[in-house]
Amino acid sequence: MTTAATLTGICPECETDLTTPPMVDGETLSCPECMLTLRVEGVTDGTLSLEMVEVQLRDWGQ
Ligand SMILES: [Zn+2]
């Protein structure tokens, strides 16, 4: 048994391997490679499920 001090995940956009501090569902991080914002959808055995988050652009001019 090992205690995971970090979590790992893969960016869904650029497939970069990511290592993060422990995170919980709903937290967000930025991919260092493609700069996308990713949200934690779940954690399984120290592996993050990540999903892209739409950047909150408010200047649609509507
Ligand atoms: Zn990425």
Ligand 1 geometric centre to CA of 61 (Å): 28
Tens of pLDDT along 8-33?
Answer: 999 999 999 999 999 999 999 999 99
Instruction: Please check whether residue 58 lies inside any domain of the structure.
Output: no
Ligand 1 geometric centre to CA of 48 (Å): 14
Q: Which of 22, 16, 13, 30 is nearest to 48 (CA)?
A: 22
Q: Are 41 and 30 in contact (CB under 8 A)?
A: no
Q: What is the mean pLDDT of the chain?
A: 90
In the chain, what percentage of residues exceed pLDDT 90? 77
Q: What is the pLDDT at residue 56? A: 67
- Does 26 or 58 have the greater pLDDT score? 26
Instruction: Please check whether residue 21 lies inside any domain of the structure.
Output: yes
Instruction: Please check whether residue 38 lies inside any domain of the structure.
Output: yes
Instruction: Please check whether residue 61 lies inside any domain of the structure.
Output: no
